[in-house]
């Protein structure tokens, strides 16, 4: 059986692989503000610090101290 996925859906899924672990954990645990969904979390910048700004949130202090 062959899975037929569009190039766009594959690209969206791949961008989620590079999401900040702290941001991903917050999303999974439901700690993001109401209205956040997968679409809003795709196409994020590669730098984790920039990802927080891209979604309009302040990076948590403990995440700022994590080594790169």
pLDDT value for 15: 80
User: Alpha-carbon dihedral of residues 33, 37, 42, 47, nearest 10 degrees?
Assistant: 20
Can you give the pLDDT at residue 63? 56
Cα–Cα distance between 33 and 26 in angstroms, integer?
10
Instruction: Please list the ranges in the chain whose pLDDT falls under 50.
Output: 1
Listed by start position, the domains of the chain span 7-64
Quickly tell me which residue has 């062959």 as its tokens. 2
DSSP state, residue 17: T
């Amino acid at each position: 059986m062959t899975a037929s996925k569009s190039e766009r859906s594959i690209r969206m899924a791949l961008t989620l692989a590079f999401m900040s672990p702290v941001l991903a954990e917050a999303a999974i645990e439901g700690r993001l503000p109401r209205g956040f969904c997968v679409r809003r979390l795709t196409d994020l910048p590669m730098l984790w610090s920039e990802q927080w700004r891209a979604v309009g949130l302040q990076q948590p202090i403990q995440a700022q101290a994590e080594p790169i």
